[in-house]
Structure 1
């Protein structure tokens, strides 16, 4: 989850104004960039305990990173993130460390940024005895063994989540993801990109499955992280049917977001609890926590960050379906979507691949892949077979860019060729060389 968002004080007077806010993200192809966000679990070497905020924990790590040119982001006086140029570091609820990378021109720059980030983290985490592991779900700890970070929005969500789903707190404390952010050219381009990427997000979930352990034992899933999202808060998650309806565009999505229940409002640096309230009431000045006050564009921008669809539309598109994984897999996730969506021929081929899939079939596939991964089926084909086609399209798209970026798909090609996900390999190690010791997963996944 992000650090606090925009502070645009422009009053909202119509849904069309919100559609224009989304539309302002449209860019000419020459300006398209890729941004990558990735999270990782901290652990104390030797004990595998999760570092607290303080003492000698996450706060100390953030303060040490300030010496490398990062500026602090504060919440009630506590450092809860960092900013340097267009990049940011933020904290997930249990201290998972996230890099929200800058928008860069190509995947080579993504790889360079990732390596620099990991090097800086190693330099400050090492003296604290802290390591970081990139997995989709925490393999060892119960929720009550994990800390909470001092972020105001998380306190609100912690209270509200159990009222709307059984796994929301697990999502907050025990999951990590990798996300690719891509641009669109105009409304029509956004619509096709959003439809294609939502349809294929379950395929990505299967390819990146990397969370087969819960509390030290196999959990029966290849992506427990993806399973958690099936019962987090169904009013704001999954594959929204509106995206596939005739006439869908920026305004229809804005209307959909308005019906997503609120979490909070920020005023004067403080998060106000508005969980479960209607943003439409806020538009009309009828929000009980701010009586008579009307919502601004900045409020709406914050509200958009609480829509947790598998692909999220902001002023760009966020691909949200993958478990965190190795550095090579982090860049492979960005490579997959750049290859599919940044070349016209590749995008049309991907659209043709999913053209006959209904929303109900996509949702059924989404429910099957956390457990079955590459073995799940749609239209009589396995996800593994579909992934083979998807990777061929993505490779063609990357080669058309002429930048030598197709090399970053190699880890995914190997997964499809072998039929073994990261999760399958972890299970083989657990049952063999690790002798049933799931703590070895943290060391194996250290980045």
Structure 2
């Protein structure tokens, strides 16, 4: 049976390299540090800020040649008979607990709004990763369909208001933290109304890592525009092509903003993590978490300037803190690309992103194509492919990737390239259906797409 996992955070990760955790159908509890804390072992306080920085820096980028790919796909769970209602938590968990092992060995996890996430083990390349995730998604859709439920892979829920159905203490504490720091609306929407496709890629050799991290960021605005499938939220048109990306932009940028790429990425990630405010303090003996209701940078906790939970942090606390940081590209030993809207064309989008980062010739072409739009995250989220510069960069990037993706994915990528050439994104279908038949119809239509 599949075990329901909810405590690995809003965006869990499957490791792209060989790792026994990546192929398990059990919980991925964000590594050894959290496993230690589950057993109540808050031992060994960090000696100070320097030790904390070195701990993060060492874990940021593990040298490994590009090639293996990990994929994760989120989708909104929809009751076909009552698409305007969220599915009750007990109904969701009951169905997931009855699942047997999936053919592609993906883990099934649940998000606070009832979204379902499939996290596949690493494939040898993006074609293998897509094939495994497709097979598992087909089984999951069949099981859910027999229960009258569907999966809608869209960047945001176009119909239903934000609402948390998970009783998990981590999510309750996150909700309280976002309220305390002044972004309750964006926090609730992020947790309960968004869905993405996430790509996990190797960090590269030490000589490659700076350029790979920089390119992953440079591609961000272009691929946000290409994948944008979320022009609606909670029953209304938002005026944004990717409302999912706009929601992340409305959250604390010390937690969600991109790395700037001005120096060694591991050093920058360490400084980013220490400057970011602590969101939660986990109380392992009770299995819960307490929100931090002020802005306390982790560096202040590590230095002892501010004590949280009546103590200074351990390495386990620092690793847990890293799971509450949500930049567009997160460094977890590998590159965790987090900025893509979920959508019906997710296999093609994943193939393009992986090829542009892992194929040297495609990467060179993409780097040149993206230069005019580097850092244009807001324009990409608001305008998508209607922005002329982003449209030109997207056309060039698709051209660079189209004949270099694995053969099994070329038909899908060529279809995506034609869409991009026409300036049409997946959000257009959402708007067309919603305007003709209402937001609930748009949500239902997304459950019927051939994925």
Per the normalisation by structure 2, the TM-score is: 0.82
Residues 282 and 293, structure 1, Cα contact 8 Å, conserved in 2: yes
Q: CA separation of 1:371/1:252 partners in 2, compared to 1, >3 Å: closer, same or farther?
A: closer
CA distance in 1, matches of 2:291, 2:207: 36
Which 10-residue stretch deviates more, 285-294 or 197-206? 285-294
Q: How big is each residue's C-alpha offset from its partner over 1:40-65, in whole Å with a ceiling of 9 and x where there is no partner?
A: 111111211210102xx211112111
| CA deviation after TM superposition for structure 1 residue 420, in Å | 1.1
Q: CA separation of 1:370/1:58 partners in 2, compared to 1, >3 Å: closer, same or farther?
A: same
CA distance in 1, matches of 2:323, 2:205: 21
Q: 1:36 aligns with which of 55, 63, 71?
A: 71
- Aligned residue runs from structure 1 range 269-288, under 5 A: 269-274=287-292, 276-284=295-303, 288=307
Matched, 1:50 2:61: no
Q: How big is each residue's C-alpha offset from its partner over 1:148-193, in whole Å with a ceiling of 9 and x where there is no partner?
A: 2022211111011132424121111111111111112234422211
| CA deviation after TM superposition for structure 1 residue 35, in Å | 0.8
Aligned residue for 1:345, secondary structure, equals helix
Matched, 1:200 2:213: no
Partner of 1:256: 272
Matched, 1:19 2:57: yes
Q: CA separation of 1:439/1:259 partners in 2, compared to 1, >3 Å: closer, same or farther?
A: same
Q: 1:223 aligns with which of 237, 242, 249?
A: 242
Matched, 1:64 2:82: no
Residue segments in structure 2 that go unaligned for 5+ positions in a row: 1-9, 13-27, 37-43
Partner of 2:419: 415
CA distance in 1, matches of 2:399, 2:89: 44
Q: 1:324 aligns with which of 339, 342, 348?
A: 342
CA distance in 2, matches of 1:422, 1:52: 29
| CA deviation after TM superposition for structure 1 residue 430, in Å | 3.6
Q: How big is each residue's C-alpha offset from its partner over 1:165-223, in whole Å with a ceiling of 9 and x where there is no partner?
A: 24121111111111111112234422211111212211111111111223333332222
Aligned residue for 2:32, secondary structure, equals coil
Aligned residue for 2:74, secondary structure, equals strand
Equivalent residues, number: 404
Partner of 2:386: 375
Matched, 1:151 2:168: yes
Partner of 1:438: 439
Q: 1:386 aligns with which of 393, 400, 412?
A: 393
| CA deviation after TM superposition for structure 1 residue 336, in Å | 1.4
| CA deviation after TM superposition for structure 1 residue 373, in Å | 0.8
CA distance in 2, matches of 1:384, 1:438: 27
Q: CA separation of 1:302/1:129 partners in 2, compared to 1, >3 Å: closer, same or farther?
A: same
Aligned residue for 2:174, secondary structure, equals helix
Matched, 1:88 2:110: no
Q: How big is each residue's C-alpha offset from its partner over 1:319-366, in whole Å with a ceiling of 9 and x where there is no partner?
A: 22221111xx221222112111112222233233344x5xxx644x21
- Decide which structure has greater strand share: 1
- Aligned residue runs from structure 1 range 329-340, under 5 A: 329-340=345-356
CA distance in 1, matches of 2:341, 2:265: 29
Q: How big is each residue's C-alpha offset from its partner over 1:195-254, in whole Å with a ceiling of 9 and x where there is no partner?
A: 11212211111111111223333332222112212212222123333x2x1x32312321
Matched, 1:131 2:150: yes
Residues 197 and 311, structure 1, Cα contact 8 Å, conserved in 2: yes
Q: 2:360 aligns with which of 337, 344, 359?
A: 344
Which 10-residue stretch deviates more, 268-277 or 418-427? 268-277
Residues 64 and 124, structure 1, Cα contact 8 Å, conserved in 2: no
Q: How big is each residue's C-alpha offset from its partner over 1:54-82, in whole Å with a ceiling of 9 and x where there is no partner?
A: 2xx211112111xx137xxxxxxxxxxxx
Superposition CA RMSD, Å: 2.5
Partner of 1:78: none
CA distance in 1, matches of 2:224, 2:440: 24
Q: How big is each residue's C-alpha offset from its partner over 1:1-42, in whole Å with a ceiling of 9 and x where there is no partner?
A: 22531233676552223211223x22134xx31111111111
| CA deviation after TM superposition for structure 1 residue 404, in Å | 5.1
Matched, 1:428 2:432: yes
Q: CA separation of 1:292/1:213 partners in 2, compared to 1, >3 Å: closer, same or farther?
A: closer
CA distance in 2, matches of 1:305, 1:47: 34
Partner of 1:73: none
| CA deviation after TM superposition for structure 1 residue 120, in Å | 2.4
Partner of 1:80: none
CA distance in 1, matches of 2:144, 2:198: 23
Residues 41 and 132, structure 1, Cα contact 8 Å, conserved in 2: yes
| CA deviation after TM superposition for structure 1 residue 408, in Å | 4.1
Aligned residue for 1:199, secondary structure, equals helix
CA distance in 1, matches of 2:113, 2:106: 21
